[in-house]
Amino acid sequence: MKLDGEIAANEQMRVFFKFLGALSIVLFSIIPFQAAIFFIAPPPTNVISYFELFQKSPLLGFIDFDLNLTVDNILFMLVYIGLYLLLKKRNPVFSMIGLVFSIISVALYIVSREAIFGMLALSNQYANAINEIDKQSIITNGKMLMTLFNGTCFNISYCFGGIALTLFSISIVKSNVFSKKIGWLGLVIGLLMLVPPTAGKFGFVLSFVSIVPMLPWLIMLAIGFFKLGKKTNYNN
């Protein structure tokens, strides 16, 4: 019975790691898509422009308000869980703390993106508003949502994500689960993420620079997960 249980558990792990390999490729594809949208159709700079964008193209409004990146963060949580399962025996402290920071990071990010659907609702209200008093009230509510969008929750979420990736990367470097290159690349990304993109031009530039190592990191991670999906034993 114990042997049957181990075989079943190993089969589940193989399927999970193959899934994470495919997921890493999906996460890779989201990055250039978001970057292309940013340069082709830069997000508006004020509330009224956002209202007009949502009326013209709700989908583009959702993308500019990071709906796809919200999904990206939720899916990334599965990658962190996979890393924790692989590293918990080799570096239990760092991997556990990394998992905690990643959970908090994703939760705070979701909270900060409350404006995604809220802005659409306000846009509809603004379009149907009759007098200037109602319009000004709606604009004020829109400004509050935009403040939340890049406010405290977002900044803490971003930095906590950097801490989580840094801790997992240190654990990878100290183990033989993946190539050391994955650990070092992840460490570079994690350290760059310790400065949020809202921290002036410096933070904005660092956020874009972090994309450069992120792309090969995700591909290498995908390859690593696919290799693990072929293993027959995960007890060592």
192-223 pLDDT per residue, tens:
999 998 888 898 898 889 989 999 999 999 99
pTM of the entire structure? Answer: 0.86
Calpha distance 224→236 (Å, rounded): 16
| Dihedrals phi, psi of 39, to nearest 5 degrees | -85, -35
Q: Sorting pLDDT into bands at 50, 70 and 90, what band is 234?
A: low
**Domain span including residue 156:** 2-228
Instruction: Tell me, yes or no, whether 194 lies in a domain.
Output: yes
DSSP assignment, residue 90?
Answer: T
DSSP assignment, residue 44?
Answer: P
Instruction: Tell me, yes or no, whether 102 lies in a domain.
Output: yes
Instruction: Tell me, yes or no, whether 8 lies in a domain.
Output: yes
Q: Sorting pLDDT into bands at 50, 70 and 90, what band is 108?
A: very high
Q: What percentage of the chain has pLDDT greater than the value 90? A: 40
Give the pLDDT confidence score for residue 166 in this predicted structure: 96
Instruction: Tell me, yes or no, whether 193 lies in a domain.
Output: yes
Structure confidence by residue, pLDDT tens digits, 124-145:
888 888 888 888 999 898 888 8
Instruction: Tell me, yes or no, whether 235 lies in a domain.
Output: no
Instruction: Tell me, yes or no, whether 233 lies in a domain.
Output: no
Instruction: Tell me, yes or no, whether 129 lies in a domain.
Output: yes
Give the pLDDT confidence score for residue 5 in this predicted structure: 46
Best mean pLDDT range from 3-12, 151-160, 161-170: 161-170
Give the pLDDT confidence score for residue 176 in this predicted structure: 85
**pLDDT averaged over the chain?**
87
Structure confidence by residue, pLDDT tens digits, 58-100:
888 888 888 888 889 999 999 999 999 999 988 899 999 999 9
Buried b (16+ CB within 10 A) or exposed e, 30-66: beeebeeeeeeeeebeebeebbbbbeeeeeebbbbbb
| Contact partners, residue 189, CB within 8 Å, separation at least 6 | 162, 165, 169, 210, 213, 214, 217
Q: Are 79 and 23 in contact, with CB atoms under 8 Å apart?
A: yes
Give the pLDDT confidence score for residue 232 in this predicted structure: 55
| Contact partners, residue 194, CB within 8 Å, separation at least 6 | 159, 162, 163, 166
Q: Judge whether residue 43 has pLDDT over 90.
A: no
Mean per-residue pLDDT for 159-177? 93
Structure confidence by residue, pLDDT tens digits, 2-41:
444 444 567 888 889 999 999 999 999 988 888 888 788 7
Q: Judge whether residue 156 has pLDDT over 90.
A: yes
Give the pLDDT confidence score for residue 177 in this predicted structure: 86
Q: Are 146 and 69 in contact, with CB atoms under 8 Å apart?
A: no
Instruction: Tell me, yes or no, whether 236 lies in a domain.
Output: no
Q: What is the DSSP string of 97-129?
A: HHHHHHHHHHHHHHHHTTHHHHHHHHHHHHHH-
Domain count, the chain: 1
Q: Sorting pLDDT into bands at 50, 70 and 90, what band is 236?
A: very low
